[in-house]
Homo-oligomer: A and B are copies of this chain.
Amino acid sequence: MNKITLLMHCKDQSGIIAAVSNFIAELGGNIVYIDQHVDREQNIFFMRLESEFDNDILDLEHLKDTFKNGLVKQFVMKWRIYTSEVQPKMALFVSKYDHCLYDILGRYKSGELNVEIPFILSNHLDLKPIADSFDIPFYHVPVTKDTKPEAEAKQLELLKKHKINFIVLARYMQIISPKLINEYPNKIINIHHSFLPAFVGAKPYHSAYKRGVKIIGATSHYVTEDLDAGPIIEQDVTRVTHNHAIEDLIAKGRDLEKIVLATAIKHHINRKVMVYNNKTLIFY
């Protein structure tokens, strides 16, 4: 069996679901997931659909062509179609913190993530032994104020060479340049260690401690040019009390960061995310 995933949006109109359902049925597919959403304010219709085909029936290029020349034109759709046969390639950018890296690599080795990891990249050498112990290539690309352009050129070269589809910043701690962001729009996943939009920027646990919040959080989002302001993919929180010092918040936060980032990565890999108007739609 082969499974395709369709993500689409267009102006809200009558008859879209019927038309797409008919299209799939006529090609011999069986819809196994369909979910749609209408943004009433913007009057936009969104749909995610999964369909199974017998292997000998599915001609993916023909399906895409027919779809593009037919319904896409009729309804003026934005669309993407993925097939389960192609595994995306993910690059991991890290710095010195190891907890998210251990968590992702453990999941990867367990077979939990349907992805390839061609390489891990860091501006420091500290985590190289972890990459080595998991048998994943490690590139050390130091970044200083002076060498930033060269470092980015090196990063882009590696990303292209390895045909990377998306990047995960697993506590990378460096600002990503607009050039790299534009090459990977809504394809760079960051983990921020606060419940955004509270505590944007550096040292959010210190800010949370100072404000005396009773709950701390972590947020995974796509990177945009505005710092910590990109589309939110996943958030989670945990309770704290006055007994928790800043180092306790940091320790409790590590578990949040791991779970939230892993969840966001899985949503992305499983094509469950659509981005619109700087927000995400997550089709569970």
Contacts and interface: CB of A to CB of B under 8 A. Distances in A.
Interface of A: 14-15, 17-18, 21-22, 24-25, 29-38, 40, 98-99, 102-103, 105-107, 109-110, 112, 130, 133-134, 195-199, 211-215, 217, 231-237, 241-243, 245, 251, 254-255, 259, 262, 278-282, 284
Given A22-B18, A242-B279, A215 B197 contact: no
Contact of A133 (B110, B133, B243): B133
Contact of A232 (B106, B214, B232): B214
9 contacts: A21-B22, A32-B38, A98-B109, A98-B110, A99-B107, A195-B215, A196-B198, A212-B279, A212-B280
Given A17-B31, A22-B22, A24-B18, A213 B232 contact: yes
Contacts of A278: 212
A106 B102 contact: yes
A34 B34 contact: yes
Contacts of A196: 198, 211, 213
Nearest to A31: B17
B37 A36 contact: no
The 7 A-B residue pairs with the shortest CB-CB distance, nearest first, are: A212-B279, A102-B106, A18-B21, A198-B198, A242-B281, A133-B133, A214-B235
Contacts of A279: 211-212, 242
Contact of A198 (B29, B30, B195): B195
Contacts of A33: 36
Contacts of A40: 245
B214 A231 contact: no
A100 to B, nearest CB: 10
A215 B255 CA distance: 18
Given A198-B197, A231-B212, A18 B25 contact: yes
B211 A232 contact: yes
Contact of A35 (B24, B25, B35, B197): B35
Given A24-B18, A237-B215, A242 B98 contact: no
Contacts of A30: 14
B15 A25 contact: yes
Nearest to A283: B242
A53 to B, nearest CB: 11
Contact of A197 (B29, B37, B211): B211
Contacts of A284: 241, 243
A106 B110 contact: no
Contact of A21 (B21, B236, B243): B21
Contacts of A245: 40
